[in-house]
Chain A
Amino acid sequence: DAGVTQSPTHLIKTRGQQVTLRCSPISGHKSVSWYQQVLGQGPQFIFQYYEKEERGRGNFPDRFSARQFPNYSSELNVNALLLGDSALYLCASSLRYNEQFFGPGTRLTVL
Chain B
Amino acid sequence: AQKVTQAQTEISVVEKEDVTLDCVYETRDTTYYLFWYKQPPSGELVFLIRRNSFDEQNEISGRYSWNFQKSTSSFNFTITASQVVDSAVYFCALSEASSGAGSYQLTFGKGTKLSVIP
Interface residues of A (CB under 8 A from B): 33, 35, 40-45, 48, 50, 55-56, 58, 88, 90, 92, 94, 97-105, 107
Contacts and interface: CB of A to CB of B under 8 A. Distances in A.
The 8 A-B pairs at the shortest CB distance, nearest first, are namely A56-B103, A42-B108, A98-B104, A97-B104, A102-B45, A45-B105, A55-B103, A104-B44
Chain A's interface: helix, strand, loop or mixed, by majority? strand
Interface of B: 4, 33, 37, 42-47, 50, 91, 93, 95, 99-111
29 contacts: A33-B105, A40-B110, A41-B110, A41-B111, A42-B108, A42-B109, A42-B110, A43-B91, A45-B106, A45-B107, A48-B103, A48-B104, A55-B102, A55-B103, A56-B103, A56-B104, A88-B43, A90-B45, A92-B106, A94-B104, A97-B102, A97-B103, A98-B95, A99-B47, A99-B50, A100-B106, A104-B43, A104-B44, A105-B43
